[in-house]
Amino acid sequence: MKFINTIKNIWKIEELKNRILVTLGLLLVYRFGAQVVLPGIDASQLANLSSQTEGGILGLLNAFTGGAFSNASVFALGIMPYISASIVVQLMGIAIPYLQKLQKEGESGRRKINQITRWLTIAITLVQGPGYIYNLFSTLPSSAFLLGDTVTFVTASVIILTTGCIFAMWLGEKITDKGIGNGISLLIMVGIIATLPLAFIQEFASRVFESNGGLIMILIELVIWFAIILASVMLVMAVRQIPVQYARRTASGGYEKNVFGSRQYIPLKLNASGVMPIIFAQAIMFIPAAVAGLSDSEAAQGVTAAFSDMFGFWYNVVFALLIIVFTYFYTAITVPTNKMADDLKRSGGFIPGIRPGSETADFLDRIMSQITLPGSVFLAIIAVFPAIVESLLGIQAGWALFFGGTSLLIMVGVAIDTMQQVNSYLLNRHYDGLMKTGKNRKAVA
């Protein structure tokens, strides 16, 4: 009943209603584009490409694009080149002084960084586009190419793939500006959700109609799936509260307790980096197989096989270790403990028992290091859980991808962020929110 009332309240807020409709409309355009096949390719002969993306790394990439990769769609590359460009720009921001300067220039600097990211996205797409086209040549029968393997077809296809990626990037930015926010993340989430029903239907048919465990196994899988979702929600929302006491300076330069306010808290998230460590690690995991594939030696072929099987033992061991390393790395560059300490000092705040300034920064940095370890290990376990359930329960690869990993964490993280966005609109209008913390708030006269 409360949920229905919340939905009614959403539609009472004109601005929020319009933003939701704009978001749904742009997402519909994105999903429609994922079904449009590249000109010059026979859509009825894509069976081999679909088989290629049933599992492994290409299966994960196909899930991120919502099936556009296996459809040879104009959105086949999805939004992933933009994600790759964003990661590269963030990493370069640590070493390049010019980017560091832009990061400190506020809104104008952010616009310049976004422009650099867009140009880098185009460059990455121009590299990935020919690779995708030549993969089509090696996978599909020659009769599938109505225009043949001419230079004109390759050039036109690369231009269309690049344009499709840029258009998807534009849709994401418009959802962020005109919709409910998190545009790029919503595009990825919608693509992932689009492949979920088919994956479940295939698993259901395998279990029930092929006498492979029956309904009992389906029930067990659903229980495990909901448990993993709950664990992911806990990982995303878990925080460590650091108490802060606000005070005012005395004439002698010390601090006097502020009798007008109560103690407040700094929320430090158990997983401050979100899914970015998994995305970083996933990008790195593409490299060994790609480099080893350039050689015909037996050792290189072994490396290619090991790092092409995302359910393999060594793949997941290296993947988990990279996630732990990148969690520390990304937390270090995104949680500015020095700035937090300076802001506290300027506002007359201090952590009880800790001196303001450098000691506070060291204390916050130590706390972040302590809570990042269990957070990174928990994140790594969830990331490799698809391989665990695939090995122990014999779950099909497509359905196993949703038992943790990047797919599930993106779905959970984006869903929570979107609910918080809607929640803020509702609370500003003094309505009950979607989240548990969104209690009805009375207007102040």
Question: Which pLDDT value is given to residue 165?
Answer: 92
Among 412, 415, 419, CA closest to 382: 412
Please determine whether the domains at 14-195 and 213-445 fall in the same fold group of CATH: yes
Report yes or no on whether pTM surpasses 0.75. yes
Q: Report the amino acid identity of residue 233.
A: V
Q: What is the rounded CA–CA span in Å between residue 442 and residue 429?
A: 9
Q: What is the rounded CA–CA span in Å between residue 120 and residue 74?
A: 19
Q: What is the rounded CA–CA span in Å between residue 69 and residue 75?
A: 7
Written as tens digits, the pLDDT of the chain (445 aa) is 666 777 777 777 888 888 889 999 999 999 998 889 999 898 888 887 877 776 666 777 777 787 888 888 999 988 888 888 888 887 787 778 888 888 777 778 888 988 999 999 999 999 889 988 988 888 888 888 888 878 889 999 999 999 999 999 999 989 988 888 888 888 888 888 888 888 888 888 888 887 777 888 889 989 999 999 898 888 888 888 888 776 655 555 555 554 444 567 788 888 888 777 887 787 777 777 767 766 777 777 777 777 777 788 888 898 899 999 989 888 887 788 888 888 888 877 778 888 888 888 888 888 888 889 998 999 999 988 988 888 888 888 778 888 877 788 888 888 888 888 888 777 777 665 555 544 444 433 3
Q: Rounded to whole angstroms, what are the CA distances from 204 to 52, 109, 194, 201, 396?
A: 21, 51, 17, 5, 10
Q: Which residues pair with 255 in a beta bridge?
A: 249
Close Cβ partners of 164 (under 8 Å, ≥ 6 residues apart):
33, 73, 74, 75, 76, 77
Q: What is the rounded CA–CA span in Å between residue 304 and residue 281?
A: 17
168-191 burial, b at 16+ Cβ within 10 Å, e below that, comes to bbebbbbbbeebbbbbbbbbbbbb
Question: Which pLDDT value is given to residue 444?
Answer: 33
Close Cβ partners of 349 (under 8 Å, ≥ 6 residues apart):
244, 245, 246, 247, 264, 356
Question: Which pLDDT value is given to residue 1?
Answer: 60
Token pair recorded at residue 374: 């269990």
According to DSSP, residue 443 is labeled P
Question: Which pLDDT value is given to residue 261?
Answer: 47
Please list the alpha-helical segments (H only) found in 242-357: 276-292, 298-308, 313-334, 337-346
Give domain 213-445's CATH architecture: Orthogonal Bundle (1.10)
Structural domain boundaries in the chain: 14-195, 213-445
- Residue range 14-195 in CATH 3.30.505.50: no
According to DSSP, residue 34 is labeled T
Q: What is the rounded CA–CA span in Å between residue 8 and residue 6?
A: 5
Q: Rounded to whole angstroms, what are the CA distances from 96 to 62, 89, 110, 115, 280?
A: 34, 10, 15, 16, 19
Question: Which pLDDT value is given to residue 262?
Answer: 53
Q: What is the rounded CA–CA span in Å between residue 380 and residue 27?
A: 30
Question: Which pLDDT value is given to residue 435?
Answer: 57
